[in-house]
Structure 1
């Protein structure tokens, strides 16, 4: 069985082609703000060719589902749904923050400890989640959510969590408070490995057959259109 994995929820495009044991056959990590839609499919084709395969050799698709950039999240999810439907293969949905936390654990060579993944949500807020890593297995200690950076840092201090953050403002703000945060651009090269490992762990929902159409992005916050519709409805009351 061959596996493909992808994530486009942050400024980093992460792709992988792996075998059934999770061994990477080819992978790509690029810092590409606002270019995911243009480069995802040709990059995936290049990786498959490098592994001497085509899309019909793939038996499982792992995709990051967010939270993160509203547009970015949709790109990988839409591509995964198209591949799953066209090729008749299951899709495994992995929250992007889970992948980031596992990537940090892989980068630091740890199998135990507390880890936190944060993504800039603007207005001094961050999408995030924190985890316990036990013998290499990731256990989320909350649902992915959004809250103030100060609240996240307070949790990290209490549980002694290692932190990875996507967004320069997050890193700058954390450093101003004396908190060491690993930059996502520094850790991202481990994302392909992390996605494949989590996708094969059996811990995440699989979407198969007609259920691939139920796969949806994990936005956490309302989309801009939903927010405007809600504001319009409140104004009409």
Structure 2
């Protein structure tokens, strides 16, 4: 029997919740970048009611910690802390870039996946993954860069890319900066049909890659940009 897991994510324009009960996944999501704080908890309540369980029946909470919108990341992490403290839940943290890469790889198989989110200010958050047929292998943490300065050919070659291998892409970074990013790729990359992360993909990543659980007071956002600071809940 699979564990009962609840995943939430507001790190990008997508407000997303997914609940796993045995082999069933119940989800709610909506692109509503300015309404995350109003929508997230009603989505949580809706999936719990549909499954006819309470938050106390959940075994672990999974939260998207970014990178993405600073405001969205803060909302998701703050609400995750509140839920985890209230129900004494351990928390697994999943990157928005990782969730998109996994979903894209399940949509279509390529040898490499490049996940990129529009970071505003003329930059993208990005990460590269090698698909070895069983899992996605990572080589470096999430990074931020100007797309015209991001030499994907050089980066992938350092990670072991061979000229016969295919490259796929996911994320809004490829929409906003398609020309610049594609120009730096070693081969014409193809879309893997994933624009934004989902809580359902975070459920899969957290289990497949055995993300370590942390206590609510250890939960930290993944901003990538160093100048942004995070304030924990008062008294924590």
Q: TM-score range by the shorter chain?
A: 0.7 to 0.9
CA distances 1:173-213 after superposition (whole Å, capped 9, x unpaired)? 54688955538xx52588333211111235323113xxx21
CA contact (8 A) 1:27 1:47 kept: yes
2:182 aligned with 1:161, yes or no? Answer: no
TM-score, length of structure 1 as denominator length: 0.80
TM-score, length of structure 2 as denominator length: 0.80
Q: Tell me the CA shift for residue 3 of structure 1.
A: 0.4
Alignment of 1:86-165 (within 5 A): 86-108=86-108, 110=109, 113-150=111-148, 151=150, 153-154=152-153, 158=157, 159=161, 160-165=166-171
Q: What residue number does 2:191 align with?
A: 182
The alignment of Structure 1 onto Structure 2 pairs a total of residues equal to 217
Q: What residue number does 1:199 align with?
A: 206
Gaps of 5+ in 1: 227-237
Please state whether the residue corresponding to 1:66 is helix, strand or coil: coil
Please state whether the residue corresponding to 1:121 is helix, strand or coil: strand
Gaps of 5+ in 2: 231-236
Q: Tell me the CA shift for residue 10 of structure 1.
A: 1.0
Q: Tell me the CA shift for residue 113 of structure 1.
A: 2.3
Q: Looking at secondary structure, tell me which structure has more helix per residue.
A: 1
CA contact (8 A) 1:70 1:223 kept: no
RMSD after superposition:
2.7
